[in-house]
Amino acid sequence: MRDMKIEDIVGMEVITGDARVLGNVEGVGIDIQAWKVPALKIGLRKGLEEPIGLKKTRFGSTTIFVNTEGVDSISDMVTLKPNLTATKEVILETENEIPTAGSIVDTRVVARGGKHIGYVDNFIFASEKNWTITCMMVKLEKSVLSDLGLKKPRLGTQTIKILTEDIKTVGDMVMLNIDMKELKDHLDKKPRKKVAGTVEVSDEPMQVEGSRLPFEVNDDYKAKYRESEDRKKKLENL
């Protein structure tokens, strides 16, 4: 299955292994240390509390967090592995509510050095790869477009993808461990193609003329080259 945006799964219907409608996805839990999706926040369908072994709430609807290990597949809906009566086996019992990706959306994003570059727009995850969150989508401030070598889109805002490994910490804002120059280098790894105001990485490699290098290929350069190649492979998978 292709990588998905967090917004793609929110609102999806959730069914159990025996084709019972459990509810709808209300949020996607997020682990900002391991950058994984540990659980899905599900608004439980009324009347299903007792069949799955939960107490009814006096006011409002019941929400549960289902371990993503209990998810069988995602397509037009989310299908769980267990049948309805066994659903409790994949429900996470936590004293404190698991933070969701929605709580981070619209948070300020700051590059190393303190430059405010924009706001969190979305996250991209791969459910078939242990629910790993591969990158964060950022809506850029107009004031940083020229610094990053980008042009102002005719419609909408300019959005870029930043690898989650380039995120230093998340608090009142998201701090990156790369500065503006490194971010520009990240965007310049490959020619960019613009789709509806979003910067996407193309699959066409950059062409470099000439074969002679104006510097010595020492161990330091080789290490940086290997790091660059690793990053390039990750960019190819975005």
Task: Please tell me whether residues 118 and 193 are part of one structural domain.
Answer: yes
Confidence of residue 13 (pLDDT cuts 50, 70, 90): very high
Task: Please tell me whether residues 12 and 79 are part of one structural domain.
Answer: yes
Task: Please tell me whether residues 110 and 198 are part of one structural domain.
Answer: yes
Domain final residue pick, 101, 127, 143: 101
pTM score, whole prediction:
0.75
CATH code (residue 121):
2.30.30.240
Task: Please tell me whether residues 45 and 65 are part of one structural domain.
Answer: yes
Checking if the pLDDT of 211 tops 50, the result is no
Res 227: pLDDT: 65
Lowest mean pLDDT among 19-28, 151-160, 161-170, 193-202: 193-202
Res 226: pLDDT: 64
Task: Please tell me whether residues 95 and 111 are part of one structural domain.
Answer: no
Parent domain of 176:
104-202
Contacts (Cβ under 8 Å, ≥6 apart) of 25: 9, 10, 11, 12, 14, 40, 41, 42, 78
Confidence of residue 236 (pLDDT cuts 50, 70, 90): low
Per-residue pLDDT tens for 15-44? 999 999 999 999 999 999 999 999 999 999
Token readout for 191 is: 């020619």
Task: Please tell me whether residues 87 and 112 are part of one structural domain.
Answer: no
Sign of the C-alpha dihedral computed for residues 66, 74, 199 and 180 taken in this order: positive
* Residue whose entry in the numeric block shows the structure tokens 């727009």: 121
Q: Is there a domain that residue 225 lies in?
A: no
Beta strands, E only, the chain? 4-5, 13-15, 21-28, 39-44, 63-67, 71-74, 78-80, 108-110, 116-126, 132-140, 159-163, 167-170, 174-176, 192-195, 198-201
Q: Is there a domain that residue 160 lies in?
A: yes
Name the average pLDDT for the chain.
84
Higher pLDDT residue, 223 or 138? 138
32 exposure class (CB count in 10 Å sphere: 0-12, 13-18, 19+)? middle
Task: Please tell me whether residues 126 and 183 are part of one structural domain.
Answer: yes
Domain final residue pick, 80, 101, 122: 101
Task: Please tell me whether residues 59 and 113 are part of one structural domain.
Answer: no
Mean pLDDT in residue range 103-131: 95
Looking at residue 79, the DSSP 8-state letter turns out to be E
Tell me how many domains the chain contains. 2
Domain final residue pick, 101, 136, 168: 101
Task: Please tell me whether residues 88 and 130 are part of one structural domain.
Answer: no
Task: Please tell me whether residues 33 and 74 are part of one structural domain.
Answer: yes
Task: Please tell me whether residues 120 and 64 are part of one structural domain.
Answer: no
* Residue whose entry in the numeric block shows the structure tokens 């190649």: 229
Token readout for 95 is: 């004293």
Task: Please tell me whether residues 8 and 67 are part of one structural domain.
Answer: yes
Higher pLDDT residue, 230 or 7? 7
Res 165: pLDDT: 95
Res 19: pLDDT: 96
Higher pLDDT residue, 212 or 92? 92
